[in-house]
């Protein structure tokens, strides 16, 4: 009870700032963060919770750092639970899975030998994302690696990061159907290959089932019915809970819907790269199929420069006090209620900025400007 009261004192601060703290920097920081909350039009307890939550961020109060301060640890855990309860949710298809509006795409932790962080750094990033930002949907694939020899690298990182109670707080979506010989991307949708890939993913993820298993890309050399049929068999066996697809056309999606219950489609889509996908997004919305856009910020490797590349993103971001890529994500969330972006990054600060997207309320004029980009 004492802890609840103590935490509620922090959380229930007036939106004008943290008064009576005795620390001038905290007052200044609180007023700054409260102003940002107001600019994002977040009201009531959610805004107050985010003010206190954001105040924790500069202190880097992860679980490991708080081991020496048991009382503060409990207060912070109580607060994180409180704040996460206000995060907006989206249902995956018509399933029982419900996750926050912005997920995390973990590909960049494994895909580039020159740029990827160490395993220790990657694990720490995932843990902070879950503990401090409330990330509860992580997208991966067996092919997120350097080559075929280290297949499953990304999945193993996630498994190590989520050991213990964290695993129960996160929905993991993985993919199969790609090989990486000498670093190349080659499709393989043969039933025997997909079955072996699923078994390998179960082992890499240290799991007895996979929440969402996505067929990574159709193989032109294999009838798609055979590939999807294998996933249906794996679902019947309890190894897969739900089936998704990736890099599919609308015609192919409609074709396989008679063979399996498809709960998600993962294709490339962003505010600047969408025309070919608008029709499939609209169809998914009609069918209540979740649309998971990959490369959701756009820029194709130039995400940090999209504010300069597309002036509307930079100007609208400035007006809301956030980065241009946060505006790109906010546009996606407003595009359709079935949209579930999975922005990827190697840096916690960028990830924290991504998670502000659900708080952005774009005006009709801003939406019109952004629609003109694509």
Band the pLDDT of 71: cuts 50, 70, 90. low
8 or 317, which is more confident: 317
Q: Do both 42 and 188 map to the same domain?
A: no
Band the pLDDT of 259: cuts 50, 70, 90. very high
Task: Compute the distance between CA of residue 15 and CA of residue 47 in angstroms, rounded to an integer.
Answer: 8
Q: Average of pLDDT values for 93-106?
A: 97
Q: Do both 127 and 55 map to the same domain?
A: no
Band the pLDDT of 36: cuts 50, 70, 90. very low
User: Which residues 6+ apart lie within 8 Å of 210 measured at CB?
Assistant: 172, 174, 198, 201, 202, 239, 240, 241
Q: Do both 77 and 160 map to the same domain?
A: no
Band the pLDDT of 168: cuts 50, 70, 90. very high
Q: Do both 95 and 79 map to the same domain?
A: no
Band the pLDDT of 297: cuts 50, 70, 90. confident
Would you say residue 284 has pLDDT above 50? yes
Residue 53 designated active-site = no
Per-residue model confidence (pLDDT) at position 106: 97
Beta bridge partners of 105: 139
Q: Which among 83, 103, 130 is the end of a domain? A: 83
Q: Do both 224 and 355 map to the same domain?
A: yes
Domain of 208, CATH number, reads 3.20.20.100
Q: Do both 139 and 240 map to the same domain?
A: yes
Q: Do both 152 and 33 map to the same domain?
A: no
Q: Out of 53, 104, 144, 269, pick the active-site residue.
A: 144
Containing structural domain, residue 29:
2-83
Q: Do both 201 and 174 map to the same domain?
A: yes
Contact assessment for residue 160 and residue 124, using Cβ atoms and an 8 Å cutoff? no
Lowest mean pLDDT among 128-137, 195-204, 208-217, 265-274: 265-274
Would you say residue 97 has pLDDT above 90? yes
CA angle in degrees (0–180, nearest 5) for 292-293-298: 160
Query: Domain total for the chain?
Result: 2
Q: Which among 67, 83, 99 is the end of a domain? A: 83
Contact assessment for residue 244 and residue 232, using Cβ atoms and an 8 Å cutoff? no
Q: Do both 161 and 253 map to the same domain?
A: yes
Q: Average of pLDDT values for 103-110?
A: 96
Band the pLDDT of 167: cuts 50, 70, 90. very high
Q: Average of pLDDT values for 109-135?
A: 95
Task: Compute the distance between CA of residue 289 and CA of residue 276 in angstroms, rounded to an integer.
Answer: 18
Q: Do both 77 and 101 map to the same domain?
A: no
Q: Do both 151 and 270 map to the same domain?
A: yes
Q: Which among 27, 49, 83 is the end of a domain? A: 83
Q: Do both 32 and 170 map to the same domain?
A: no
Would you say residue 314 has pLDDT above 80? yes
User: Which residues 6+ apart lie within 8 Å of 354 measured at CB?
Assistant: 102, 325, 326, 329, 343, 345
Considering the chain, what percentage of its residues have pLDDT values greater than 90?
68
Q: Average of pLDDT values for 189-214?
A: 98
């Amino acid at each position: 009870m004492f802890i609840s009261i103590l935490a509620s004192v922090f959380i229930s601060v007036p939106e004008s700032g943290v008064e009576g703290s005795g620390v001038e920097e905290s007052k200044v920081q609180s007023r700054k963060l409260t102003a940002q909350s107001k600019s994002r039009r977040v009201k009531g307890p959610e805004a107050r919770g985010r003010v206190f939550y954001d105040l924790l961020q500069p202190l880097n109060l992860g679980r490991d750092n708080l081991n020496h301060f048991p009382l503060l640890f409990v207060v912070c855990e109580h607060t994180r639970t409180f704040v996460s309860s206000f995060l907006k949710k989206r249902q995956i298809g018509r399933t029982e899975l419900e996750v926050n509006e912005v997920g995390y795409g973990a590909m960049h932790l494994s895909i580039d030998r020159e740029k990827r962080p160490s395993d220790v750094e990657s694990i720490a990033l995932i843990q902070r994302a879950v503990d401090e930002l409330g990330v509860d949907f992580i997208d991966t694939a067996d092919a997120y690696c350097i080559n075929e020899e280290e297949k499953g690298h990304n999945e193993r990182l996630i498994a190590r990061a989520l050991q213990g109670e964290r695993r129960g707080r996160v929905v993991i979506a993985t993919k199969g159907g790609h090989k990486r010989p000498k670093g190349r991307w080659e499709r393989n949708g043969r039933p025997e290959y997909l079955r072996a890939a699923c078994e390998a993913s179960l082992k890499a993820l240290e799991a007895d089932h996979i929440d969402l298993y996505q067929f990574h890309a159709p193989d032109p050399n294999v009838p798609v019915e055979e590939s999807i049929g294998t996933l249906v068999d794996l679902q019947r066996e309890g190894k897969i809970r739900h089936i998704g697809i990736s890099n599919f056309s609308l015609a192919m999606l409609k074709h396989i819907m008679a063979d399996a219950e498809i709960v998600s489609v993962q294709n490339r889509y962003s505010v600047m790269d969408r025309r070919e996908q608008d029709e499939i997004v609209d169809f998914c919305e009609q069918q209540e199929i979740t649309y998971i856009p990959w490369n959701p910020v756009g820029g194709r490797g130039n995400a940090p420069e999209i504010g300069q590349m597309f002036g509307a993103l930079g100007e609208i971001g400035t007006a809301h006090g956030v980065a241009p890529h946060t505006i790109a994500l906010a546009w996606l969330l407003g595009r359709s209620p079935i949209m579930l972006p999975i922005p990827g990054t190697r840096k916690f600060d960028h990830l924290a900025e991504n998670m502000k997207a659900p708080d952005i309320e774009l005006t009709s004029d801003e939406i019109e400007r952004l629609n003109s980009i694509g």
